[in-house]
Amino acid sequence: MKKIVFLFSFFFLTILCLPGSIFSQEPAGYLVVFTDKDGVDFDPFTYFSPKAIERRILQNIPLDDITDYPVREDYVAWVTAQVEAVDGPSRWFNALAVSATQAQIASLRALDFVKEVIPLRYELSVCEKRGSMPSKRSLEILKRQTNRMGIEAFRKAGIDGKGVRVAVFDAGFPNVDEHPAFAHLRDEHRILETYDFIKKRPFVYKANSHGTSCLSCIAGMYNDTPIGLATGAEFLLARTEKTFEPYREEYAWLAAAEWADKNGADIISSSLGYTYHRYFPEDMDGTSVVARAANMAARKGILVVNAMGNDGSQASWKYVGTPADADSVLSIGGIDPFTDYHIAFSSYGPTANGVRKPNVVAFGHAFLAGKKGFQEASGTSFATPLVAGFAACAKQYYPEIPVMELFEKIQEAADLYPYFDYAHGYGVPQAALLLGEEKRVHTPTFEFVDSQEELSVKILPVKRRFAYPNSNYLYYQFLDAEGKILEYAVVEIYSEVPLQLQIADLAENIASVKVFYNGYVHKEMINR
């Protein structure tokens, strides 16, 4: 007998219509991209912080890269005179963010020094409603959200993110300057820089408390108990979002990424994303402005950690948002702390161009700091900073490795690895696996029993030195001849034979079945 606790068949939505042209003279947001940076001077030693230079040297990233040169001032001046308003330049894109009418944009496109004009989009926060004040259950979640990733292994190794610089992009950080959860950061002067890219000022301690909550999931404290793993890290805080602020948030994210790079960030933690309000599912292919900005940040040696989104239970969307669709972004899904498998709202992968997402997962319901006091809340918004805290600890442990190697080590430390599905990614990162304190044992924990009519999975009595947190679940998936995941599921173990498949009932395009149980993965071909 088996109990199927989750099943999802992967498919792409087919959109039968395209967005029409809107001939409006209302200003809209655009990036005006220029053709060149001829005649521009650049000194990396005066522009970059010492830590930014150190990061580049450690990762063999050029200090004199044309994408870091400033935008030509004459181009900026010319375009500024032709549009309604200007938000600011982007060195990485060699562009200027503007608000302009379609007639103005048509004139700009005709200029010899304008390479292209890219529309900007609205931004939405991937955030759920807040929960209640701390209760017995809340405090249990508090302990489990860090224990699930192995905080004790990090603490025994003296790892808490010390010396790692994390940039947090969000909608505001009210009361971080006085909340008790961040007293240690203030006392040790570890909030190094702040900037509000909406208001154009350094002060960020107002507006939406979503950022306060996310920061707490990286480095906050509840009395003597850590809320996140990286309580020793240092921070750059950037306000990049205002709910339904037209045209600005994509540029704000890009500008914040350049600012974070300049100020020496090792990691960007971003719980923001764009989905159906301005995009179709087929647009989630890593080509949006923010996805390109996130990939550029990775090229600069910064690990970008971004939320998948909270659209998993919406029939009209379900899929990953951008910039989590960027191939170089560590994209984070959510699991339910009470069941330990996919939480219903967490968005699914893959991207429209087939990139595997999410990469890893963490609790999608967490204990955290609110604007005042402490509470519970739900969203991949909070799974993301939990993993960002893990990433900061990983960076402390591996200070000199290239960013994409760090990316791979975090994936490989996840508890399902090398098994992957579009709900759980590679699973929850584990400190003991990252540190090498525990090794993956390849002794089989199950076997396939194949007959002409039936394929069964039989559990074997194997003892494990490393206790997998999800050891009562068996994960399986069907693949086609090219290895594409067609369907996947999780089975809760109640018997020695938890999975029985009638071969005659399987679709013709199913070529194999892959199973993960208690650290062991095996793929079996379907014999028809």
The model's pLDDT over 345-402, given as tens digits with 9 standing for 90+, comes to 999 999 888 899 999 999 999 999 999 899 999 999 999 999 999 999 999 999 999 9
* Residues whose CB is less than 8 angstroms from the CB of residue 522 and which lie 6 or more positions away in sequence, other chains included: 444, 446, 448, 514, 515
Residues 361, 377: Cα–Cα separation, whole Å: 16
Instruction: Give the range of the structural domain holding residue 144, as residue numbers without chain letter.
Output: 125-435
pLDDT band for position 465 (cuts 50, 70, 90): low
Q: What is the pTM of this model?
A: 0.90
| 140 and 280, same domain (yes or no) | yes
pLDDT higher than threshold 60 for residue 443: yes
Q: Which of 81, 96, 119 is at the close of a domain?
A: 119
How far is Cα 286 from Cα 373, in angstroms, rounded to an integer?
38
Is there a single domain that holds both residue 113 and residue 148? no
Query: Do 312 and 357 fall into the same domain?
Result: yes
Query: Who wins on pLDDT, 462 or 405?
Result: 405
**Which one is predicted more confidently, 137 or 229?**
229
pLDDT at 13: 28
Task: Tell me the β-bridge partners of 449.
Answer: 456
Is 2 part of a structural domain of the chain? Answer: no
Same domain, residue pair 429 and 453: no
| Residue range 255-279: mean pLDDT, rounded | 85
Question: Is 408:484 a contact under the CB 8 Å cutoff?
Answer: no
Using alpha carbons, select from 237, 263, 267 the residue that is nearest to residue 52.
263
Which tens digit of pLDDT belongs to each residue from 470-518?
678 999 999 999 999 999 999 998 888 888 888 888 899 999 999 999 9
Please give the single-letter amino acid code of residue 30.
Y
Q: How confident is the model at residue 124 (pLDDT cuts 50, 70, 90)?
A: very low
* 3-class state of residue 448 by DSSP: strand
HEC-encoded secondary structure of 271-299: CEEECCCCCCHHHCCCCCHHHHHHHHHHH
Task: Give the pLDDT score at 38.
Answer: 98
Give start and end residues of each alpha helix (H) in 314-464: 380-397, 403-412, 431-435
Give me the sign of the Cα torsion angle 294, 298, 301, 306.
positive
- Which helix (H) or strand (E) segment holds residue 378: the answer is strand 374-378
Question: Which residue, among 273, 421, 292, 285, has the nearest Cα to 358 in the 3D structure?
Answer: 421
Amino acid sitting at position 101: T
Phi-psi region of 425 (alpha: psi -120 to 50; beta: other; left: phi over 0): left
Distance CA(337)–CA(361), nearest Å, equals 11
The answer as to whether 16 is a domain residue is no
Whether residues 134 and 91 fall in one domain: no
What is the reported pLDDT for 23? 38
Tell me which of 58, 87, 119 is where a domain ends: 119
96 falls within a domain: yes
Can you tell me the distance from the alpha carbon of 199 to that of 205, in angstroms, rounded to the nearest whole number? 12
Q: What is the pLDDT of residue 20?
A: 34
Identify the three-state secondary structure at position 334: strand
Among candidate residues 245, 222, 234, the one with its CA nearest the CA of residue 172? 245
Tell me: do 103 and 153 sit in the same domain.
no
The SS3 assignment for 35 reads coil
Task: For residues 242 and 277, state if they share a domain.
Answer: yes
Q: What is the CATH number of the domain that holds 496?
A: 2.60.40
What CATH code is carried by the domain that includes residue 402? 3.40.50.200
Same domain, 226 and 350: yes
Q: Is residue 203 part of a domain?
A: yes
Q: What is the pLDDT of residues 284-300, one digit of tens each?
A: 677 889 999 999 999 99
Containing H/E element for 397? helix 380-397
Tokens 């959109």 -> residue? 15
Domain count, the chain: 3
Residue 217 exposure: Cα atoms within 13 Å on the Cβ side: 37
> For residue 10, is it within any domain?
no
The DSSP secondary-structure symbol of 454 reads E
Domain presence at residue 475 = yes
**Residue 340 and residue 473 in one domain:** no
User: Both 39 and 169 in a single domain?
Assistant: no
Q: What is the pLDDT of residue 152?
A: 97
Residue 19 above 50 pLDDT?
A: no
Q: Which pLDDT score, from 0 to 100, does residue 6 have?
A: 40
Which region among 173-187, 270-284, 355-369, 427-441 has the lowest average model confidence (pLDDT)?
270-284
Residue 511 counted as domain residue: yes
Same-domain check for residues 103 and 146: no
Final residue belonging to a domain, choices 376, 409, 435: 435
Same structural domain, 151 and 299: yes
Is position 19 within any domain? Answer: no
